[in-house]
Structure 1
């Protein structure tokens, strides 16, 4: 009740939602790899997309993170679900 997941349009995330963000996954060249929702929980980041199962990155497995005007990026360690890598997401609320 009252969560964005109970809305008729499940892709809708209110601009002022504290823990859920609309994101676009970007590659090294700045190309769009697909859109989704990023949830920040007490222990991990969770990416939800229509095409794939959710992906989780536990905060303790993250090596580095950074953000600027509209890009949030982080480096995951080898113990993360995805293994080691650098991930970048375009997000209007990257801060």
Structure 2
């Protein structure tokens, strides 16, 4: 037994997984999901879809501002070139972990 507040968050168990909300260029909600930072790539999991993967070597740039994390992928990615933005309560942590893994 326990209260709802005592329920573990995914981030308490897996510090490399972040709950995100994909947004478009207008800032409108597109789709919720989770981003995992592995040793070699960024992986986006969305319900009912295959995971999207971006190898670190194909990321052109990345950054965060307040609760927003974004990155630009290159043409060699499976998704092709593009800019992706995600709302995330832990955007700074996501950025810092990505930066540490890339270095």
TM-score by length of structure 2 reads: 0.77
1:40 counterpart (37, 42, 46): 37
RMSD of aligned Cα (Å): 1.3
- Aligned partner of 1:22 in structure 2 is 19
Report the alpha carbon displacement of residue 51 of structure 1 after superposing the two structures with TM. 2.8
1:86 counterpart (73, 77, 83): 83
Q: Which has the higher helix share?
A: 2
Unaligned ranges ≥5, structure 2: 1-8, 93-103
Unaligned ranges ≥5, structure 1: 1-11
Report the alpha carbon displacement of residue 13 of structure 1 after superposing the two structures with TM. 1.7
Taking the aligned partners of 1:29 and 1:15, their CA distance within structure 2 comes to: 31
Report the alpha carbon displacement of residue 16 of structure 1 after superposing the two structures with TM. 6.6
**Structure showing greater Rg:** 2
- Aligned partner of 2:48 in structure 1 is 51
